[in-house]
Amino acid sequence: MRVSFFGAAREVTGSNILVECAGKRILLDCGLFQGVKLAEERNFAAFAYDPKSVDFIVVGHAHLDHVGRLPKLLREGFQGRIYSTAPTLELTRLVLEDSEKLMSEESKRDNHPPLYLEEDVGGVIQLFETLPYGQSLEIAPGIRLTLMNAGHILGSAISILEAEGKKLAYTSDLGNNPSELLLPPDVVADADFIICESTYGGRVHEDVSRRGAKLNKIIELTISQNGVLMIPSFAIERTQELLHDIEHYCHVGNCAVPRFYLDSPLAEKVTKVFGKYPEFLNGKVGEEFKNGAIFALDRVQITSTVDESKEIDSSPTPKIIIAGSGMMNGGRILFHLQKYIEDSKNSILIVGFQARGTLGRRLVDGEREVRIFGKKYEVGAQIHKIGSYSAHADQPQLVLWLSKIAGLGKIFLVHGEGDESLALSKAIGDKMKADVAIPQQGESYDL
Ligand SMILES: [Zn+2]
């Protein structure tokens, strides 16, 4: 068994791992490299392997940095099967259709051909075969695949490959536990090798129980200042958690939430997918679904068209706007930022990871002057952060989860900026006896 790391190696985007075993080539995820742009230039470079030679792909979850180069792979000759859970297939279709549109706009601005076309997205979706959690499938003679719940986003999976007498597990991304919406990540009882994410390998998340109070405070501040609260949000999971929390705030806080917009057609579609898979949600939320009003969909104003989105800016304050993209490197949030970022009575609430180079990261780092669509803006708006909305496990959770796996010969840490992976590696070393590697881009290991 040979494993090669071609993405999310000492960084957080572009997840792409090649496993060669029992005469087959299997890719784990095929994600987009993201930064200042939705699709960084690096995505246009040739794959390090021949796409035609890949037999299977296993997709851990539907985030763009895990699925975003699938259509490119198809365009360049991949014709094998793609395995995932059923919600991951549905969400992948939505995410790829959305990003294809955004990237075609980006490519016109940058004056180069797009990474892939609409028809490539359709082609990729045709290749999927879905698997429920816990059911093992022989995908080729001598190779078994099992998907387990990763608790990260709806349908997210830990992939377990068994071949040549070895067992390799890959977390894709591992969820933050407890989650308001999802079941906690499954425990992997045993594995010889694990490839584990390390996004927050060096950090301890804020206590989840405090986030409701923090959110209330920020909403109250917005109301008292007659301002605008902008929440750049990932369309999957984060937005539904926010909708769920703001709904809860309405009921429990018994407060009049101001005008409240969900300005993300993708998030709107994704929220509907959640409704189709109550069995993938934790019991409490599944019950709420049966009783109807979940995710505040009856209260929030959904702006599907561009004209509706533009009208938000002429509506009276105070108001809350949830819009993508989560790292502010594209999407409708940029238009609202252009209008509202300079005024100190407005706020921006950061609820997700902000990769290096993105506008979101600049704001978190306290930069007072930023560029949006090439134009300079003074940052007057207040920047708030709630860390506990993270969909990723933090250091103590990762170490605890890893420590339950029996027989681990080696741990590979991926999907983390260098210092995060290094901090996790040290923490693992303190708590358990394990051989840890932090692979570099392009590095291969014979297992
Ligand atoms: Zn993810």
Say how far apart CA 139 and CA 20 lie, in whole Å.
Answer: 14
Q: Based on the fold, state whether residues 146 and 196 are members of the same structural domain.
A: yes
More confidently predicted of 289 and 359: 359
Residue 147: which H helix or E strand, with range?
strand 143-149
Q: In angstroms, what is the span from residue 221 Cα to ligand 1's centroid?
A: 31
Q: Based on the fold, state whether residues 253 and 192 are members of the same structural domain.
A: no
Domain end: 342, 372, 389, which one? 389
Q: In angstroms, what is the span from residue 254 Cα to ligand 1's centroid?
A: 34
Say how far apart CA 364 and CA 229 lie, in whole Å.
Answer: 16
pLDDT in tens, 143-152: 999 999 999 9
Give the residue-averaged pLDDT of 393-407.
97
Q: Based on the fold, state whether residues 235 and 125 are members of the same structural domain.
A: no
Q: In angstroms, what is the span from residue 67 Cα to ligand 1's centroid?
A: 10
Q: Based on the fold, state whether residues 192 and 144 are members of the same structural domain.
A: yes
Query: Confidence class of residue 243 from pLDDT cuts 50, 70 and 90?
Result: confident
DSSP designation for 156? -
Characterize the bridge pairing of strands 259-263 and 319-323: parallel
In angstroms, the Cα distances linking 397 to 30, 200, 435 are 26, 10, 19
Q: In angstroms, what is the span from residue 15 Cα to ligand 1's centroid?
A: 10
Q: In angstroms, what is the span from residue 172 Cα to ligand 1's centroid?
A: 7
Q: In angstroms, what is the span from residue 141 Cα to ligand 1's centroid?
A: 31
Q: Based on the fold, state whether residues 398 and 340 are members of the same structural domain.
A: no
Q: In angstroms, what is the span from residue 227 Cα to ligand 1's centroid?
A: 32
Give the pair of three-digit tokens for residue 354. Answer: 């902000």
Q: How far apart are the first and last CA of the chain?
A: 5
Q: Based on the fold, state whether residues 293 and 417 are members of the same structural domain.
A: no
Q: Are 171 and 197 in contact (CB under 8 A)?
A: yes
Q: Based on the fold, state whether residues 222 and 247 are members of the same structural domain.
A: yes
Q: Are 396 and 214 in contact (CB under 8 A)?
A: no
Q: Residue 255's pLDDT is what?
A: 63
Query: Confidence class of residue 360 from pLDDT cuts 50, 70 and 90?
Result: very high
Q: In angstroms, what is the span from residue 66 Cα to ligand 1's centroid?
A: 7
Q: In angstroms, what is the span from residue 152 Cα to ligand 1's centroid?
A: 7
Q: Are 422 and 438 in contact (CB under 8 A)?
A: yes
Q: In angstroms, what is the span from residue 438 Cα to ligand 1's centroid?
A: 19
Q: Residue 294's pLDDT is what?
A: 64
Q: Residue 297's pLDDT is what?
A: 66
Residue 366 burial (10 A CB sphere; 0-12, 13-18, 19+): exposed
Q: In angstroms, what is the span from residue 149 Cα to ligand 1's centroid?
A: 13
Beta bridge partners of 215: none
Supply the CATH number for residue 158's domain.
Answer: 3.60.15.10
Q: Based on the fold, state whether residues 397 and 342 are members of the same structural domain.
A: no
Q: Residue 111's pLDDT is what?
A: 87
- Centroid of chain to Cα 177: 15
Domain end: 370, 389, 408, which one? 389
Q: Residue 418's pLDDT is what?
A: 86
Q: In angstroms, what is the span from residue 234 Cα to ligand 1's centroid?
A: 10
Q: Residue 442's pLDDT is what?
A: 97
Q: In angstroms, what is the span from residue 173 Cα to ligand 1's centroid?
A: 5
Q: Residue 105's pLDDT is what?
A: 85
Beta bridge partners of 128: 82
Say how far apart CA 256 and CA 273 lie, in whole Å.
Answer: 28
pLDDT in tens, 344-356: 999 999 998 888 8
**What mean pLDDT is reported for the chain?**
92
Q: Based on the fold, state whether residues 344 and 408 are members of the same structural domain.
A: no
Q: In angstroms, what is the span from residue 11 Cα to ligand 1's centroid?
A: 13
Which of 20-34, 197-211, 278-292 is predicted least confidently?
278-292
Query: Confidence class of residue 28 from pLDDT cuts 50, 70 and 90?
Result: very high
More confidently predicted of 314 and 39: 314
Give the pair of three-digit tokens for residue 22. Answer: 């029992």
Give the pair of three-digit tokens for residue 384. Answer: 């708030």
Q: Residue 256's pLDDT is what?
A: 67
Q: Are 176 and 205 in contact (CB under 8 A)?
A: yes
DSSP letter string, 325-380: -TTSSSSTHHHHHHHHTT-TT-EEEE-S---TTSHHHHHHTT-SEEEETTEEEE--
Q: In angstroms, what is the span from residue 398 Cα to ligand 1's centroid?
A: 15
pLDDT in tens, 122-145: 999 999 999 999 999 999 999 999
Q: Based on the fold, state whether residues 272 and 284 are members of the same structural domain.
A: yes
Supply the CATH number for residue 331's domain.
Answer: 3.40.50.10890
Which residues keep their CB under 5 angstroms from ion ligand 1?
A: 63, 173
Identify the domain containing residue 362 by its residue range: 208-389
Q: Residue 353's pLDDT is what?
A: 83
Q: Based on the fold, state whether residues 286 and 395 are members of the same structural domain.
A: no
Domain end: 389, 420, 436, which one? 389
- Centroid of chain to Cα 397: 18
Give the residue-averaged pLDDT of 190-217.
92
Q: Where are the extended beta strands (E) located within 164-300?
A: 166-170, 193-197, 228-232, 259-263
Number of domains in the chain: 2
Q: Based on the fold, state whether residues 153 and 284 are members of the same structural domain.
A: no
More confidently predicted of 370 and 177: 370
Q: Residue 216's pLDDT is what?
A: 87
Q: What percent of the chain has pLDDT over 90?
A: 74
pLDDT in tens, 51-104: 999 999 999 999 999 999 999 999 999 999 999 999 999 999 999 999 899 888
The answer to whether the bond into 178 is cis (omega within 30° of 0) is yes
The answer to whether the bond into 318 is cis (omega within 30° of 0) is yes
